[in-house]
Amino acid sequence: MNVDEIRKDFPILGKFFNGKPPIYFDNACMTLRPKQVIEAMDDYYENYPACGGRSIHRFGLKTTKECDEARDKIRCFTGAKRKEEIIFTKNTTEAINLVSNSLGLARGDVVLTTDFEHNSNLVPWLVLSEKIGIKHVPVKSNKDTTFNMSEFEKAMNRNVKLVSMVHTSNLCGVTIPAREVIKLAHEYGALVMLDGAQSAPHRRINVTDLDVDFFAFSIHKMCGPSGIGVLYGKYDELQKFKPFLTGGDTVSDTHYDSYTLLELPGRFEAGLQNYAGIIGAGAAAEYLMKIGMNEIEQHETKLNEAMTKQLSDLEKLTLIGPNDPKLRSAIYTFNIEGLNPHDIAMILDEVANIMIRSGMHCVHSWFNAHALQGSARASLYIYNTLEEVRTFSDTVKQVTKDLA
């Protein structure tokens, strides 16, 4: 994996701001886009800007073909058996809501989550709790945010209909033992959905090998465009779903008193689609697969190990998550005593063009439960370098020193 060559693919990294290049460490929120993705989307807008799956003129047929090929690229990226199991959504949030509104949960059914879910995998279950009386049960994690398997085993019973858990946490980078979770849940007859927004961009995923029932992720976190996401679902399970968004392009025929749904995946992709986004999604998946997901994971671990070591002696810095960087994926979340997380982010940006995230990272429930006002979060990706990590660490040390 040649990081210098990879950086050449990202136009924004060649620009300077106040005489310095940007150091982009906000990848858990949104990644930068390579020229290969930008060009694929521009090609659609410039050369065949039409509807897919409807018109039979040359522009329409080209759009249909390119979108179909993009779906197959996502199938390859996820390890799904068939492309009909790939549903395009706006993002992970919509994908999870598609499941929550289509699964047919009833009063008394239990949904298990972790206790550090993104709001996208918490609020839908709270809404269903109010609306129809399901029961949402968060499984308590260990003190260092690692997954507590014994707590999960205690929570499992025949009333659990769905285990819906974040695969890799955007809060701390911890990855749950998905294979073990899925196996135990299936033994109790429960389905499993993984929020893969922070895992799909960073490691090799094979949904078939995992035997997961549903897997949701966002393309804007993996070098692709915003406004496009993916829900993978096992074919037989998706066939049982009743769509919660209906109308144009979800049906093959209608009468005044009846309708016929399209086959998968069309019945779940209502209305005119984000064709450029779908094409961009395929280009992003292809780009990452060419680099190699195992190589990406190894690179990020190396960066996180360096960052962790360089900041390990700062007494005023508190790390959220396990101390071992191998357990935190590409994420380094921290607080500095005496500084608001937003102040940390603003200082790093103004002093060294270092861009990080600050706040509660859409995990308000965890921060509220731990009486914390938020945190600063540096998140790494394929184009980040050890030199950037050193600049970040030196700047954080200087900020901490200035507080003394």
Active site residues: 362
* Structure-block tokens of residue 81: 């058996």
Asked if omega into 265 is within 30° of 0 (cis), the reply is: yes
Query: Residue 46 in contact with residue 34, Cβ under 8 Å?
Result: no
Query: Residue 287 in contact with residue 295, Cβ under 8 Å?
Result: no
DSSP state of 30: -
Query: Residue 41 in contact with residue 279, Cβ under 8 Å?
Result: yes
**Nearest alpha-carbon partner for 102 in 268, 273, 272, 263:** 268
Helices and strands in the chain, H and E counts: 14, 15
C-alpha angle with apex 378: 372 to 379, nearest 5 degrees?
A: 120
* Structure-block tokens of residue 292: 């190699």
C-alpha angle with apex 336: 339 to 372, nearest 5 degrees?
A: 80
3-state class (DSSP) for residue 40? helix
DSSP characters over 318-343:
EEES-S-GGGSTTEEEEEETTS-HHH
DSSP state of 83: G
Distance of CA 24 to the CA centre of its chain: 18
DSSP characters over 236-285:
HHHHH---SS-STTSEEEEETTEEEEPSTTGGGS-SS--HHHHHHHHHHH
Query: Residue 44 in contact with residue 66, Cβ under 8 Å?
Result: yes
| β-sheet bridge partners, residue 26 | 379
- The strand pair at 160-166 and 191-195 is best described as parallel
Distance of CA 63 to the CA centre of its chain: 26
